[in-house]
Amino acid sequence: MSTSPAPLPIRLLAQWRTFAPSWMILAGLAVMPLLLSSPNFIRLLFVTLLWITTSVAWNLLGGFAGQISFGFAVFYGIGAYTTALSMNAGVNPFIAFLVSAITAAAASLLVGLPTFRLRGPYFAIATIGISEAVRVVMTNLSFTGGASGYRIVEHRAFRQLDHYYTALVLASIAVAFSVFISRTRFGLGLNAIRQDEDAAAGLGVNPYAYKLGAHALAAALTGMVGGVFSRYAAFIHPQGVFGFQTSVHILLMPVIGGIATIWGPVLGGVVFGIVEEQIIASFPEIHLFIYGSMLILIILVEPGGILGAFRKLLRRIHGRR
């Protein structure tokens, strides 16, 4: 089979063809705002990149490890507030993002530690519980302004491109993580846990530690997104960043794109980033209906999402030849 046991980085380099399209997309995204400098367009790209990052992050846990969370708004919100508080205390924004990552990862243990040990639906249940509980607490917490929100004061001129490139780097990191994990022992272990936790444990995988690890990693990325968003928005409030909507969005994107794949969540993020703008703008009164029906349809018709449907189509075309 494998003739030369070359180390992973070298083998990745050898597979540059596989990644050529991704490098081209990345380069395109890097020069895009210089060519089309409409602030509104850059804002759309910025938001889409943030959505892609959360989508990829959710997929690390929900896709690879198969642990469905309905509460990623907790990490998004904690990240947003941590960055806001740190920046107002005079911390450099990029260090603030890292602090957000760490805080969010620590918060992930609050849900993971008691529930991942157990079999059954406990984790999913607890994620809904904690996101509600945290939102209510944040609405009542006085030092962050409670329900009326919190303002970030940055003593620097606002430069949209700074924010855009931060988001681009973050999204690239997330995708690189996703690619890397899917090719390592860690990813193989998560994959096995999703398919059959008992069988995985019987072959030496520690499901508890692996689920905790994937959860913490996903939370850290999501927390950083929250931080980047709060610096951009300069004003956050619990109903927004901790809102139920946020959790729904983060969960919806990877499911639409294709769960447990690398590019599915990215695709979901792109579709969502663009379509959500339109849906919310055109039909704000039925967007929940649209989200809900999409979930139901995908689960019953094509659980592989857009990517799954696309692959099936390709297979059918090849099969006819």
Partner 1 sequence: MADAKPKPPILEVERLTKYFGGLAAVKDVSFEVREGQIFGFIGPNGAGKTTLFSIIAGALKPSSGKVRSRGRDITALKPFQLVQAGIARTHQIVRPFREMTVLENVKLASHFGRKNVTSDSAAEEHAMQILTWFGMETFAQKSASILSVGLQKRLEITRAMATEPDLLLCDEICGGLTHVETAAMLDWLRRIRDRGTTVMYVEHDVKAITAVCDRILVLNYGRKLSEGAPDHIQQDPAVIEAYLGHPPGRRQEG
Partner 2 sequence: MTLIEFVNLLASALLLAGIYAVMSVGMTVIYGVMKIVNLAHAGFMMLGAYLALELFERFRIDPILAALLVFPVMFVVGRVLHWLLVRRLPTSDQPTLASLLLMFGLWLVLQNLGYFIWGNADRSIYTSHTLSLLRFGAVTISTVRLVVFGAAVACMVALHLILNHTWFGRSVRALIQNRYAGQIVGVDDQKTASITFGLGIGFAGLAGALLASLYSFNPDFGRPFLIRAFVIIVLGGLESVSGVAIGAFVLAFVETFGILFVPAGYQLALSYGLLVVVLIFLPGGVAALTAKVRRLA
Residue numbers at the binding site for partner 1 (CB under 8 A): 1-2, 4-8, 11, 183-185, 188-189, 191-192, 195-196, 198-207
Distance between CA atoms of 262 and 55, rounded to whole angstroms? Answer: 10
- 3-state SS, residue 204: coil
Which one among 19, 94, 122, 165 touches partner 2, defined by CB under 8 A? 122
Q: Give the nearest distance from C-beta 71 to partner 2 in angstroms.
A: 11
Is residue 68 within 8 A of residue 124, CB to CB? The reply is yes
Q: Per rule CB under 8 A, is residue 121 in the interface with partner 2?
A: yes
User: Which phi-psi region, left, alpha or beta, contains residue 287 (left: φ > 0; alpha: ψ -120 to 50)?
Assistant: alpha
How many CA atoms within 13 Å lie on the side-chain side of 146? 3
- How do the residues of the chain divide into helix, strand and coil, expressed in percent and rounded to 5? 80, 0, 20
Which range in 35-43, 112-120, 154-162, 226-234 contacts partner 2 by CB under 8 A?
Answer: 112-120
Choose the contact partner of 31 out of partner 1, partner 2, none; CB within 5 to 8 A by kind. none
Q: Give the nearest distance from C-beta 257 to partner 1 in angstroms.
A: 18
- 228-247 binders of partner 2 (CB under 8 A): 244
Q: Give the nearest distance from C-beta 301 to partner 2 in angstroms.
A: 10
Distance between CA atoms of 168 and 88, rounded to whole angstroms? Answer: 24
Nearest to 53 by CA among 235, 309, 249, 306: 249
- 151-190 binders of partner 2 (CB under 8 A): none
275: tokens are 């379509």
Q: Give the nearest distance from C-beta 205 to partner 1 in angstroms.
A: 5
Q: Per rule CB under 8 A, is residue 119 in the interface with partner 2?
A: yes
Q: Per rule CB under 8 A, is residue 126 in the interface with partner 2?
A: yes
Choose the contact partner of 4 out of partner 2, partner 1, none; CB within 5 to 8 A by kind. partner 1
How many CA atoms within 13 Å lie on the side-chain side of 27? 6
- 283-312 binders of partner 2 (CB under 8 A): 285-289, 291-296, 298-300, 303
